[in-house]
Amino acid sequence: MEVTTYSQRKSLPRSLQFQRMERIVKAMQHPTAGVPVREQKLFLTTIPNAFTGNDVSEWIMQKLNIKDSIEACHLASLLCYYGYFFHVTTNGAVQIKDDNELFRFQAPYFWVSTNWTTGNVEYAIYLLKRTLRNRQRHGLEEYEMHALNDLKMKLIHQWDFVTMQAEAQLRVLKDRKKTDKAIIDSQERAFWHVMRPSPDEASILEMDIRNDLYTYRPMKREELVRRRLEYLRQTLSNRVRTKSSQTHQSLCAFFELFSDYDPFLGHCSPSNPWLTSDTERWTLMQPLVDNPTQLRVRRWSFNCKELISDPTGVCEFMKFCKADFSTESLNFYLHVQEIRNCPLSQIKQKADYVYQEHLAPNAPQEVNINDTIRTKIIKQLDNPNRDIFIEAEKHIIELMKKNSYPRFIHSEHYRNLLQNATNPLPKKPGIFHFVKDNYFRLSSSSSDDEYDSDDDEIRKNDNTITNVSNNNIHNKSQPLAGTLVNTAAIATAVVAVNPGLRQSLDSDSKLASANHQTDIK
């Protein structure tokens, strides 16, 4: 037998699942917070480090927050099926119940994640060793007898070696205690039950998401070819041939239609909350509003999908349908949406209600669907899922597109909505909208904690500039709002504070006037 390394083990199929299961098993083996392990009596022998099925189910319910005992036993049975602990008997049972049957943890050396590469020689030695013992307790099953006969034919050239190894291991086993014999037999049987399962059981080492279709849905090559040909015929018959120019025009028309509703590409009313501090757009675009905007109401006229995907649009559409006495289709659509979003425990109840309300003969709000769709739904009512009404929903949406939706768009109700809808104007930004409110610090708000530098001269210059600018602002008849400072006042303050800069400006002006007189001459 050979064992793979850790780096090779990470690339094996289902390695992540094995790691999660082993994390639970390691928590079970914790000396204080794990499953209580103690000596247990089994007939006339004492089994050390054993636990019962009741112990492991209680631990799972307590530590993993599972409230159903049946689910806890199912999880424990899966861990036992994967060989992480085994039944201390010779029958190799993997079903765990809330009883006093004894189990022991499998040694990590024999865990399935180590990916043992067991050969035919080791398996033949194990089977032959069991045939040399008591048949009543260690007899082979039918599939094991067939496997032993096949191995005899394959290993005929080294069968003497197999027999010698089996007899030697049996002699060593006879010298052990009765308790050790029971533990070794159960551990060995559990290991080979995982490595070489019966033909009726799927091997956990070969189950992979890439092989599930071939494992559980076997299909002949003729069936695959027939389905492929049928698919290709449908694609050829339903192929839509359009020119590239028409496709480009359709795309351009689509983007022109929805450009006003893209806050980054088009206009965003009343103002873009990503660029300004105005958050009124979030209030206007809530799912349910009393007075929607004109852009929102106009969008309902694009297609039926835009109308029924907007909660406010659905409410207005329902008002129109009630006045038109045609609420059956819309109510059916809303009930189907509830089934898609409800808990799993309520799917059966809601599916029965939808059937009795809309699809049963003489239903209170019966909808118009064909018998083929109705028959498929009736067959699935015993075990419904979230998509039980998907074909009926598509059919009802097509009916609404042809009947109630055009009447709603051309109705007086929709025209009143569009006329009374709000059209919020964008707020005009300030001149320096990119300048923050605290861009310039005032002397009253400055403190030693706000500065990282310890240079006193820089602090004095900053305070002087701010004070001069404040004096110039107060001298104005209409001061600017907030903390924005006049640019001319700041320039005057800078010149007043820096005499060197003022002298350089005077010299530059004198030089410019001299050059101008020279040009005149």
Q: Is residue 188, in this structure, part of any structural domain at all?
A: yes
Give residue 16's pLDDT: 74
Give residue 463's pLDDT: 52
Around 180, how many Cα atoms within 13 Å sit in the side-chain half-sphere? 6
In the predicted structure, residue 517 carries a pLDDT above the cut 70: no
- Per-residue pLDDT band for 121 (boundaries 50, 70, 90) equals confident
Q: Tell me the pLDDT tens digit for each residue of 254-274.
A: 888 888 888 777 667 788 787
Instruction: Tally Cβ neighbours within 10 Å of residue 254.
Output: 11
Residues 6+ apart with CB under 8 A from 292: 284, 312, 417, 421, 422
Tell me which of 401, 420, 439 is where a domain ends: 420
User: Is residue 82 domain-shared with residue 126, that is, in the same domain?
Assistant: no
User: Is residue 21 domain-shared with residue 67, that is, in the same domain?
Assistant: yes
Q: Is residue 405, in this structure, part of any structural domain at all?
A: yes
Cα–Cα distances in Å, from 447 out to 137, 158, 441, 451, 484? 90, 93, 10, 7, 20
In the predicted structure, residue 444 carries a pLDDT above the cut 50: no
Q: Is residue 221, in this structure, part of any structural domain at all?
A: no
Q: What is the CATH number of the domain that holds 89?
A: 1.10.10.10
- Per-residue pLDDT band for 117 (boundaries 50, 70, 90) equals low
In the predicted structure, residue 67 carries a pLDDT above the cut 70: yes
φ/ψ of residue 262, rounded to 5: -100, 115
Mean of the per-residue pLDDT values for the chain?
A: 75
User: Is residue 139 domain-shared with residue 21, that is, in the same domain?
Assistant: no
Q: Tell me the pLDDT tens digit for each residue of 31-50.
A: 888 888 888 777 667 777 78
Q: Is residue 9, in this structure, part of any structural domain at all?
A: no
CA distance 184 to 179: 9
User: Is residue 263 domain-shared with residue 372, that is, in the same domain?
Assistant: yes
User: Is residue 168 domain-shared with residue 98, that is, in the same domain?
Assistant: no
Question: 24 or 119: which carries more pLDDT confidence?
Answer: 24
Give residue 485's pLDDT: 40
| Tokens read off for 495 | 């010149």
CA distance 408 to 319: 10
Q: Tell me the pLDDT tens digit for each residue of 415-438.
A: 999 999 888 877 665 554 444 444
In the predicted structure, residue 490 carries a pLDDT above the cut 60: no
Q: Is residue 390, in this structure, part of any structural domain at all?
A: yes
User: Is residue 275 domain-shared with residue 290, that is, in the same domain?
Assistant: yes
Tell me which of 90, 114, 138 is where a domain ends: 114
pTM of the model: 0.42
Average pLDDT over residues 54-75: 86
User: Is residue 106 domain-shared with residue 133, that is, in the same domain?
Assistant: no
* DSSP letter assigned to residue 287: S
In the predicted structure, residue 8 carries a pLDDT above the cut 50: no
Average pLDDT over residues 91-101: 71
Q: Is residue 446, in this structure, part of any structural domain at all?
A: no
Q: How far is CA 480 from the centre of its chain?
A: 53
Q: What is the CATH number of the domain that holds 306?
A: 1.10.167.10
Average pLDDT over residues 190-219: 62
User: Is residue 281 domain-shared with residue 181, that is, in the same domain?
Assistant: no
Q: Tell me the pLDDT tens digit for each residue of 139-188.
A: 787 888 888 888 888 888 888 888 888 888 888 888 887 777 777 777 78
Q: For the chain, what is the domain count?
A: 3
Average pLDDT over residues 22-26: 87
* DSSP letter assigned to residue 194: H
Q: Is residue 2, in this structure, part of any structural domain at all?
A: no
Between 311-324 and 412-420, two packed helices, what is the crossing angle to 10 degrees? Answer: 140
Average pLDDT over residues 401-407: 91
Q: What is the CATH number of the domain that holds 187?
A: 1.10.1240.60
Average pLDDT over residues 227-245: 79
Give residue 393's pLDDT: 92
**SS3 of residue 52 by DSSP:** strand
CA distance 251 to 256: 9
Give residue 182's pLDDT: 75
CA distance 202 to 181: 29
Q: Tell me the pLDDT tens digit for each residue of 314-358.
A: 999 999 999 988 899 999 999 999 998 898 889 999 999 999 999
Q: Is residue 124, in this structure, part of any structural domain at all?
A: yes
| Tokens read off for 301 | 């006229």
Give residue 429's pLDDT: 57
Tell me which of 360, 387, 420 is where a domain ends: 420
Give residue 357's pLDDT: 92
User: Is residue 107 domain-shared with residue 155, that is, in the same domain?
Assistant: no
Around 174, how many Cα atoms within 13 Å sit in the side-chain half-sphere? 10
Per the structure, the complete domain to which residue 64 belongs is given by 15-114
User: Is residue 405 domain-shared with residue 259, that is, in the same domain?
Assistant: yes
Residue the block writes with tokens 């449908």: 234
User: Is residue 413 domain-shared with residue 362, that is, in the same domain?
Assistant: yes
User: Is residue 124 domain-shared with residue 82, that is, in the same domain?
Assistant: no
